[in-house]
Amino acid sequence: MIDTHAHLFDDRFASDLPAVLARAEAAGVERVVCLGIDAESNRATLRIANSHPLVVAAVGIQPNHVAEAAPGDWDDVVRLAESEPCVVAIGETGLDRYWDRAPFALQEEYFARHIALARRLGKPFVIHCREAEADVVKVLRAEFEKHGPVRAVMHSFSGDAATAGACLDMGLYVSFAGMVTYKTAQQLRDVAAGVPLDRLLVETDAPYLAPVPHRGKRNEPGYVVHTAACLAEVKGVPVGVIDEHTTRNAKLLFGLE
């Protein structure tokens, strides 16, 4: 299994990251994609990926952090993405209308930069979308019409079936996190049921939003198995089938071996 989205640089992992990754491996996780959200976490992500064979990296400036980005921070993203072999994707990037932390126009400008960088380097990009589904689909549609199928993932998907359908039509992958396991998330499970196995990904978004039965605790990559088990139930297939497909999809999208 591959945890396609985690933030291992978080302080909550500072004291026990090797143990966290050992537990992930014991649970059957063969790779973790660690995503930076700003200049400092991008550098930390690189340090982690370069010292743990289980971890690969993505670099970017997350939409809620674009306002505080210093001059040079974007150049750093570009430099790391161009020069570091463990960088497999660009992000996380995207749009967020839930937190009012950065002017929306600035988020849009950074989203466009990430997409252009990903295209130039032939790497996928990772999309954060919170209460901005229509805006994100509009940007992706423009990209799709100009350049064809979009090599990207909608991370921790929380939109509706129409949004998922629009993304699938443009070639994207749809990734589910712990939220899909929550009792009240039947609507999201219904959306997941409609995502074909060859476009499905799983993730933790650790340290946030741990899946049931760990809800409320610090999330960690090994817990991705609970999200996979939930998706297996939703789709009426053995968990091995979810494991096999999501692993293959993640390897294809991120170019992993």
**Residues in contact with Zn ion, shown as a per-residue x/- string from 67 to 96 under the rule CB under 5 A:** -------------------------x----
Nearest distance in Å: CB 237, Zn ion: 27
Least separation in angstroms between residue 40's CB and Zn ion is 15
Minimal distance, residue 238 CB to Zn ion, in Å: 29
Give 92 or 220: the residue with its C-beta nearer to Zn ion. Answer: 92
Binding mask 138-157 for Zn ion (x = CB under 5 A): --------------------
| Residue 107 zone, left/alpha/beta (φ > 0; ψ -120 to 50; rest) | alpha
Distances, alpha carbon 145 to alpha carbons 58, 114, 135, in Å: 26, 18, 16
Contact between 118 and 152 under an 8 Å Cβ cutoff? The reply is yes
CA quadruple 190, 192, 197, 199: dihedral, nearest 10:
140
Nearer to Zn ion, 3 or 92 (CB): 92
Shortest reach from residue 140's CB to Zn ion, in Å: 18
Q: Which is nearer to Zn ion, 147 or 217 (CB)?
A: 217
Residues 90-129 touching Zn ion, rule: CB under 5 A, are 92
Number of chain positions touching Zn ion (CB under 5 A): 1
Angle, vertex CA 98, rays to CA 93 and CA 100, nearest 5: 85
Nearer to Zn ion, 92 or 96 (CB): 92
- Shorter beta-carbon distance to Zn ion: residue 144 or 222: 222
Contacts to Zn ion from residues 170-209, by CB under 5 A: none
**Least gap, CB of 62 to Zn ion (angstroms):** 7
Closest approach of Cβ 208 to Zn ion, in Å?
A: 8
Residues that bind Zn ion (CB under 5 A): 92
